Structure 1
Amino acid sequence: MQIKKNRVWAMAALLGGVIGLSSCLKQNDPGPQRMNYTGAIINGAYLPSNVDIFNNGGKMNSGAYKTGNSAPFLDLPGLKTFSFRQLNGVGLDSVTQQLDSLKYYTIITYNDGTKKFTSRLFQEDFSSLSQSKVNFRFINLSPNAGAVDLYINNKKVAENQPFSVNASWQSVDPFSNSVEYYVTVAGETAQLVKGTSRQSSGSTQVAFQPGYAYTIYLAGAKDSTGDNKLQLYYLSHTSSY
């Protein structure tokens, strides 16, 4: 792992508190000290628009985890079951996997073509990403938005992106200052939705840094104005923001 590992999740606990996740770590583990793995959860599902998340039965979120929310967390390795439930306790889906020390994992939730709530877990590999450029991938998690184009700093960086739960990493030259990012309907120029910042929900200015890895994702329903409205957001896998 080469990408700025000395700074990875230096403020994970703080950010997790802002978004509403806790690591569910057992502080009284009597065994030898083990190194954490790093996880992140992206809620791309819009039905339902609010969920609770459990890690081996322990609730992770302090408030409803809404469509578009994402957060990092640190946890001890082992066999993990992440389950997603409606706020009334009814189960939606779960994913179980052995998670290992010093590895990186991302869990993505979404609604499939039948609107079924689904969760998938991916192990990340950042070893081949650029140290000198901005690394990103774009995932369109909105099943009814259609194919879209992604722009960063008014330049098209991803074209004709359909609904998908995974994408390849790309690298672009560093930006000289903070930028804005947005999506359009594929082939059009009018903004469909503009991305927001993690530092402030009212800001659209983002400092994408060279050497870091960002997942930019579109979530929500195109025809909604509620909690599950269409929104564009990002998660940094290799820095606190």
Structure 2
Amino acid sequence: MATKTNRLWAIAALVVIGTGFTACLKSVDTTPSRPVAAFAAINGIVSSVAVDFYDNGTKATGSAMSMGFAGINYQAYGGVHKFDFMKTTTSTVWATSTYAYDSLQYYTLVTYGDSSAAYVKPIHDDFTGISSTNVNIRFFNLSPNSGAVDLYLSDTKVDSNLTYVGNTSVSTLFKSLSGISSASTIKVTAAGSKLALATLNTATLRGGYTYTLFLAGMKDSVGPLKPVVGYIQSLY
């Protein structure tokens, strides 16, 4: 099964293997590899200015994250981490979270709000009940003024009445989409309407894999804050 194979590789990826400089050692280092936690990040902060990502006071990424960014296979040892999302090239913290994380676990850091009031939600990813044949998804509405929205994959409505994350709890679970083994188009509409707020036509969603989909930006904006749809594939 695809998910089982992915899981085995993912667990292996969460173990730090200290082989980079072993050729310089005169004796064999038998210290067990130390496991880590893996993090993805989604930047939904409504701003034309990007953010930098810091872990316990140290900049953890080389490039700034613009609104709608989704990515990072960031790995860190388990324990307490203070994650800051800072206005790029400054010391201004826009969103921050301090939380204790476990090794060999997967987390998603989701930011939302705007530069005057931004927040980050650490999510412990839960893969219970995912399908090995269907596409598995969850969706976050990060657009503060779009209201409730409906979600379509390749013209099939897969979820409805999805409200802004600032007004509701976020899902740690992924859900299996019965009968959907692939999709290339993600469309978000206003709830009860087929008029698209944002569409992504270049998605690659495959059965047996898990994806976090999201809407970011401001409804009716046509500039850098216009609504965008994005997604990120879990390492699971």
TM-score in terms of structure 2 length: 0.80
Give the equivalent residue in structure 2 for 1:180. 185
User: SS state of the match for residue 66, structure 1?
Assistant: coil
Please identify runs of 4+ aligned residues in structure 1 that moved more than 3 A. 7-12, 173-178
Per the alignment, residue 149 of structure 2 pairs with: 148
Q: CA deviation at 1:57?
A: 1.6
Q: Give the structure 2 partner of residue 230 of structure 1.
A: 227
Residues 215, 237 of structure 1: 8 Å contact kept: yes
How many residues get paired? 217
Displacement after TM superposition at 1:160 (Å) = 1.6
2:97 alignment partner AA: V
**Secondary structure at 1:5 match in 2:** helix
Q: CA offsets, 1:193-227, max 9 Å, x none?
A: 102xxxxxxxx232312221111000111233333
**Which has more radius of gyration?**
2
Give the conservation status (yes or no) of the 8 Å contact 2:55–2:82: yes
Give the unaligned 5+ runs of structure 1: 13-26, 196-203
Which residue of 2 is the match for residue 108 of structure 1?
Answer: 110
Does the C-alpha gap of structure 1 residues 70 and 212 become closer, same or farther in structure 2, counting only changes over 3 Å?
same
CA–CA separation in structure 2 for the residues paired with 1:35 and 1:85: 28
- Post-superposition CA distance 1:130-172 (Å, at most 9, x none): 2222110111110101111110011001112111261353211
The 5 A counterparts of 1:1-241 are 4-8=6-10, 33-47=33-47, 49-71=49-71, 72-87=73-88, 88-111=90-113, 116-164=117-165, 166-167=170-171, 168-173=173-178, 175=180, 178-195=183-200, 204-238=201-235
User: Structure 2 counterpart of 1:214, which letter?
Assistant: Y
- Residue 9 of structure 1 deviates from its aligned partner by 9.2
1:16 corresponding residue in structure 2: none
Matched-pair contact (CA < 8 Å) for 1:3–1:126: no
Counterpart amino acid of residue 185 in structure 2: E
1:49–1:144 Cα change, 3 Å: farther
Pair 177,122 (structure 1): closer, same or farther in 2 beyond 3 Å: closer
Could you tell me which amino acid in structure 2 is paired with residue 238 of structure 1?
Answer: L
Asked whether the 8 Å contact 2:126–2:174 carries over to 1, the reply is no
Letter in 2 for 1:146: G
Q: TM-score, normalised by structure 1?
A: 0.78
Q: Distance in 1 between matches of 2:101 and 2:13?
A: 21
Identical pairs, percent: 32
Unaligned stretches of 5+ in structure 2? 15-19, 22-28
